[in-house]
Amino acid sequence: MTKETEYHVPVLLRESVDALSVKPNGTYFDLTFGGGGHSREILFRLGDGGRLFGFDQDADAERNIPQSDARFTFVRSNFRHLARWARFYDATGADGILADLGVSSHHLDDATRGFSFRFDSPLDMRMNTSGGQTAADILNTYSEEDLTRIFRTYGELQNARRLAATVVKGRTNAPLLTASDLTRLTTPLMPRAREKKETAKLFQALRIEVNGEMDALAEMLNAAAKVLRPGGRLVVITYHSLEDRMVKNVMRSGNMEGHVEQDFFGRTTSPFRPVTGRPLIPNAAEQALNPRSRSAKLRVAERTEAV
């Protein structure tokens, strides 16, 4: 393993970069740089006149920046600010945007970051550690209703209400600060046979809330329509049904609800046209080699002429 693949093994690498249909002199955005696996493949296909902007909000990703490649620019930012950065770098009218959503293996494997219940680490879960609330802040201050909503919506947990009530009751004795403070309360409520899976969903729900992932995704999809040239490609890899639904709807219709609207002449006004009907999923070999890839779905759209 190289140091970058130790950081993260890229998912659907060939399929996603093929979907970008890289032009040697094109301008591309990899909005989720991470270990840089997708970026390296894009750079491999780009010629000397091409440009690639790699975004990541986590400072740790900077260690994977390709050395001395003038075609590459790292942008340490949340991808929700895509349109602003594209203007700053004079990179609107781009040929392709790739986003491989969620956390990296590095996040899940780092015992200090709080993303995984495999370690008894502080409940942090921020991808950008320079500000914002941690998972502990949320667990110790949110109302029972808000915790229920998060567990139900982002974790799709059947017993969201009971879990939230247990957290609220449990935190009156002492604040929940570490992963084991939380799992000590919640494990007895999880169905025995699915204990690990359900706890992973609970942690996923908190992580999505901590990082404002659904809002950032919505803003980024909106910005992508402004940054791509007509014919440019938007390629997104999702890992849970909520984000997949949002991506699918926006690619169909340009809005979160998936309502396809038409103008006076009956033409679809969506800024995107889906290139693939069904999402692409990793083949059996990839799923066997990389368990993280099992929930991945790849969706591709093309920017239309619509304004």
Q: Is 258 within 8 Å of 248 (Cβ atoms)?
A: yes
User: If binding is defined by CB under 6 A, does position 102 make contact with ligand SAM?
Assistant: yes
127 binds ligand SAM (CB under 6 A): yes
Shortest Cβ 41–ligand SAM spacing (Å)? 9
183 or 211: CB nearest ligand SAM = 211
Report the residue from 17, 38, 164, 225 that binds ligand SAM according to the rule CB under 6 A.
38
Distance from first CA to last CA of the chain, Å, rounded?
Answer: 45
Cβ contact 55:30 at 8 Å: yes
Examine residue 52 and tell whether it contacts ligand SAM (CB under 6 A).
no
Q: Which of 72, 74, 79, 151 binds ligand SAM (CB under 6 A)?
A: 79
Q: Is 78 in the site for ligand SAM (CB under 6 A)?
A: yes
**Cβ at position 100, least distance to ligand SAM in Å:** 4
Stretch near ligand SAM under the rule CB under 6 A, chosen from 35-43, 149-157, 197-205, 242-250: 35-43
Under rule CB under 6 A, residue 56 binds ligand SAM: yes
* Binding segment toward ligand SAM, per CB under 6 A, in 20-28, 42-50, 57-65, 159-167: 57-65
- Own/partner pairs for 215-221, CB < 8 Å, 24+ apart? 215/80, 216/78, 216/79, 216/80, 217/101, 217/243, 217/246, 217/247, 218/246, 218/256, 219/80, 220/31, 220/79, 220/80, 220/82, 220/99, 221/246, 221/247, 221/250
Footprint on this chain of ligand SAM (rule: CB under 6 A):
8, 10, 32, 34-38, 55-58, 61, 78-80, 100, 102-104, 127, 216
